[in-house]
Structure 1
Amino acid sequence: MSSELQVFRLPDLGEGLTEAELVNWLVAVGDQIKVDQPIAEVETAKSMVEVPSPYAGTVAELHGQAGETLDVGKPLISIAPVGAAPAEPEAPASAEDPVSTGVVTDAEASAAAETYRTEEKAGSGNVLIGYGTPGGATGGRTRPRKGSVAVVDAAPAAAPEGSVAVPEAPMEPVVAGTRIPGKLSAVISPLVRKMARDHGVSLDAINGSGASGLIMRRDVEAAISAPEASAAPSAPAQAPAEAAAPAAASGDLDSRTGLAVSARTPVRGVRKAVAANMTKSRTEIPEATVWVDVDATALLDMRAELKKRSPHDTPGLLAFIARFVTAGLKKYPALNTRFETGTDGSQEIVGFEGINLGFAAQTDRGLVVPSVRNAHQLSARELDAEIRRLTAVAREGKATPTELGSGTFTLNNYGVFGVDGSAAIINYPEVAMLGVGRIIDKPWVVNGELAVRKVTELTLAFDHRVCDGETAAGFLRYVADCIENPGGALADM
């Protein structure tokens, strides 16, 4: 019965992520599950999400254990179809008989997973857990059938007359990636599209049994059940000892320092994503930094007065500064762009009709940057409410990849950590970041006389490829002037 198993691979959970940590299984072997039923909780570098099953049936195998990091495109769960008996464990097959066992080699599984990840990044239009992959819905994945290398010669002879034809393995990448205009509209369910792609079935070869030729789930299942399209079960999951290598035993000596190693902490999840993003930013972006000290006394006084009138819904200081930033980006749009380099070496600066304002938020999982979408349309009070909401969901690990990966400019309030300034690293692929330091009492000259004022430091890191110092300084000075004269600035916005 193993040939009947439906193997669901870990999908791209958004933003082209390549791996996820398996936090908890929501089902067990032998459980009966339904389509769209959550089967596992996984934590990506962006958020914690529940993964639903595209298949109904009996759970036959769980590929992985809690705490294990799984690659996108690798098997997550195997399910016996409704009405089929759960697959019995089979003895390992010999290398001479790959067709009879249907076992996929490690090389084939890795190749299939890599193809899967590449195509997910290109964008399939598939909606799995509430948000789509990047790109349009016109392209089809070209992933080869599992075990296709081993059964290329045998598959044509095994196909009975009248069965639904599936292209032979060598032709699959070409056929599966080709769409007849308007054909895709005959498939409405994203789960049906995903099922077809997972099993290497070309939708172009299927005549839908639904109204107006609509391709139904049963049509794809019929194509999958054809002998030539039978998919081999994925390679068994690694043993726990292989899947999650333990940290180095205490007492190991470091060859460089001669000291005992106290611990080795795997870099994964948010920390791994931050490390990769910061490295890419430093490697690709020729950044420059400008800064200025700002008298924020008037802003604090204005907020204190508002708080007296309305104690419960007065915006925080960050919301007011965010409002000034969005106004400044309208005046200096070069800082609200993205610098792109094409595969042919061509370069262009991409501008946006709108501002998604990201802000740095410290969580138990590390530093994340949720973004307020269309922040330029919001008042200070509305910005405050959205900042509080996004901070809460980010700290709970429930922010979506869209909320965490769609910013066009970042505001970083590192003053909450008690520091004055920072040589910030730009949040790639954005081109600028504004940092706000702590607000402290400092001597300040006011109308020719020395006074104690509330002073903060603003620091702007910017990509020198998109603008020169004049633009960066103009934006920074605009925000500083708004902070020093908040009443007049808000009146003009």
Structure 2
Amino acid sequence: MTVKTFTLPDLGEGLTEAELVTWLVQVGDTVAVDQPIAEVETAKSAVEVPCPFAGTVRQLHGASGQTLDVGAPLISVDTGAGDGVPAPQGGGPKGGQTYREEERAGADPAAAAETAEDGSGNVLIGYGTPGGGSSGRRRRPKKAPSATPAQAAATGAAHDAMASAPRLAPTVISPIVRKLAKDRGVDISTVRGSGPGGLILRRDVVTAAASPEAAPVPAAAPVAAPVAAPAAEAVDARTGLEVAGRVPVSGVRKVIAEAMTRSRTEIPEATVWVDVDATELVELRAALKARDPENAPGLMALIARFVLAGLARYPDLAARIETREDGSQEIVRFDGVNLGFAAQTDRGLVVPNIRGAHRLSARGLDAELKRLAERARSGKASPAELSGSTFTLNNYGVFGTDGAAAIINHPEVAILGIGRIIDRPWVVDGQLAVRKLTQLSLAFDHRVCDGGVAGGFLRMVADAVENPVSVLADL
């Protein structure tokens, strides 16, 4: 018996810890190479961690809700080496699908690349199991001879025996397959896989979901559920009120708290704002949607395009301040903009960013806004997608608010807030009229620029919102 311990891998982007959300296997389960064994939540996203070993689970190091440091033991697996019992590999026989191949939506198992015996080389945020070739080449699988009826019957019997083995962890490698099962209310442990070695594929989940006997997936407990207060602390000494529960400040909430505290501590910020008549912008958006309902950019994308034009003229607002070893500071300017935008998720407020946003049209920005927002809300955004922005847009109007003094997303030096667009009285050509009004507010680092730069940028964006057709002609 050889027991190997797998430690929590380096999750990249400077992340040094992760919260263990839930185990996907139990002690005694049989696991395959690259099979997801646990779901962890970092300050950036929630990810499934695959196991680099195949064998039987001997020990789970940690409980749900516990925070583990990178490099700490995560799981111990009896690989079966030395006792004459071969360990399962890669979710089935060679030629089986890896989870990346399954993500490509049901590739033919017979056409899949051969899986290395000690790992597939699949990567998860800076972590890869052994066996990934450095050349990136895939070996063409050898053509297997046609099976005789007897061999086919033996293979089917082996498949049935494997599928019905007691305490066998579900043979599913793809996170997409797991998510599909969860979304359709299918208990993955009850699904019979049609892939090699009983590997569960998309079509198996779809078939199980269509069956009336499909078992529902038990509801997962909330990650940050309030913890009941001990009896000794049933009453708070300061307020005299009963303590209803305690919620640890961890994960995204911990990072938000640290970033906001650092921003307020280090950045001498100032805020300027302006009321803007967005009537023509709303009408332009309606006309574009009437002409092309599927591809018309949204208001956020159009405003983002105006913001990028403003940053091209006032690049200091998309810069960064760095402190050198001798204590002196310098302003670092960039050739381009990574545009961040605040996205509210179940895990808290995160800031996905569109890399190289200055190169995109309004339609391109709209597509990226939708894609990144969906990834952020599903917890699947990568650390690279949630860091590296140089300027942030915050559309707090979606919450029904008119204005806010936003906190700068450190280490950036400015953030632009957009309030809700509502009907208000407004003077047009000396006459009172009902117009679509919004408020733009800019918080900026006073170390980088003064009010003239901030006001010039804000006025340029406001003018673009009020006269979008003339501005878009120059973009």
Q: TM-score, normalised by structure 2?
A: 0.68
Matches of 2:411 and 2:123, distance apart in 1: 25
Map of 2:190 onto structure 1: none
Map of 1:450 onto structure 2: 432
- For the Cα contact (< 8 Å) 1:329–1:336, is it kept in 2? yes
* Residues 82, 336 of structure 1: alpha-carbon distance in 2 compared, 3 angstrom cutoff: farther
In the TM superposition, what is the alpha-carbon distance from 1:354 to its structure 2 partner? Answer: 2.0
CA deviations 1:38-62 (Å, max 9, x no partner) are: 3221111211111123444543321
1:457 aligned counterpart, secondary structure: strand
Map of 2:36 onto structure 1: 38
Counterpart amino acid of residue 274 in structure 1:
I
- For the Cα contact (< 8 Å) 1:412–1:434, is it kept in 2? yes
1:438 aligned counterpart, secondary structure: coil
Map of 1:60 onto structure 2: 58
- For the Cα contact (< 8 Å) 2:227–2:247, is it kept in 1? no
Map of 2:93 onto structure 1: none
* Structure 1: gaps of 5 or more residues: 87-126, 134-189, 195-209, 212-243
Map of 2:15 onto structure 1: 17
Question: Which of 303, 324, 343 is equivalent to 2:306?
Answer: 324
1:232-247 aligned within 5 A: 246-247=227-228
Counterpart amino acid of residue 229 in structure 2:
A
1:187-206 aligned within 5 A: none
In the TM superposition, what is the alpha-carbon distance from 1:23 to its structure 2 partner? Answer: 1.9
- For the Cα contact (< 8 Å) 1:249–1:263, is it kept in 2? no
Q: TM-score, normalised by structure 1?
A: 0.66
- For the Cα contact (< 8 Å) 2:20–2:67, is it kept in 1? yes
In the TM superposition, what is the alpha-carbon distance from 1:431 to its structure 2 partner? Answer: 1.0
2:261 aligned counterpart, secondary structure: helix
Q: Which stretch shifts more, 56-65 or 360-369?
A: 56-65
1:376-395 aligned within 5 A: 376-395=358-377
Question: Which of 222, 229, 238 is equivalent to 1:248?
Answer: 229
CA deviations 1:9-60 (Å, max 9, x no partner) are: 2123122223212122233334454544332211112111111234445433
In the TM superposition, what is the alpha-carbon distance from 1:81 to its structure 2 partner? Answer: 4.5
In the TM superposition, what is the alpha-carbon distance from 1:293 to its structure 2 partner? Answer: 0.8
Counterpart amino acid of residue 380 in structure 2:
K
- For the Cα contact (< 8 Å) 2:338–2:388, is it kept in 1? yes
- For the Cα contact (< 8 Å) 2:226–2:247, is it kept in 1? no
CA deviations 1:77-136 (Å, max 9, x no partner) are: 2234551569xxxxxxxxxxxxxxxxxxxxxxxxxxxxxxxxxxxxxxxx9844449xxx
Counterpart amino acid of residue 369 in structure 1:
V
Paired positions, count: 348
Map of 2:255 onto structure 1: 273
CA deviations 1:311-358 (Å, max 9, x no partner) are: 232211101001111111111111111111134423222222221111
- For the Cα contact (< 8 Å) 2:414–2:445, is it kept in 1? yes
Map of 1:26 onto structure 2: 24
1:492 aligned counterpart, secondary structure: coil
- For the Cα contact (< 8 Å) 2:27–2:58, is it kept in 1? yes
- For the Cα contact (< 8 Å) 1:337–1:351, is it kept in 2? yes
- For the Cα contact (< 8 Å) 1:247–1:265, is it kept in 2? no
CA deviations 1:295-317 (Å, max 9, x no partner) are: 11110111112222122322111
* Residues 83, 193 of structure 1: alpha-carbon distance in 2 compared, 3 angstrom cutoff: closer
Question: Which of 3, 6, 17 is equivalent to 2:4?
Answer: 6
Counterpart amino acid of residue 417 in structure 1:
F
In the TM superposition, what is the alpha-carbon distance from 1:291 to its structure 2 partner? Answer: 0.7
What percentage of aligned pairs have identical amino acids?
66
Question: Which of 48, 51, 63 is equivalent to 1:50?
Answer: 48
CA deviations 1:218-259 (Å, max 9, x no partner) are: xxxxxxxxxxxxxxxxxxxxxxxxxx9954137711111122
Indicate the RMSD between aligned Cα atoms, in angstroms.
2.7
- For the Cα contact (< 8 Å) 1:340–1:350, is it kept in 2? yes
Map of 2:72 onto structure 1: 74
* Residues 85, 289 of structure 1: alpha-carbon distance in 2 compared, 3 angstrom cutoff: farther
Matches of 1:268 and 1:65, distance apart in 2: 15
Tell me whether 1:459 sits opposite 2:441 in the alignment.
yes
Q: Which stretch shifts more, 74-83 or 399-408?
A: 74-83
* Residues 9, 435 of structure 1: alpha-carbon distance in 2 compared, 3 angstrom cutoff: same
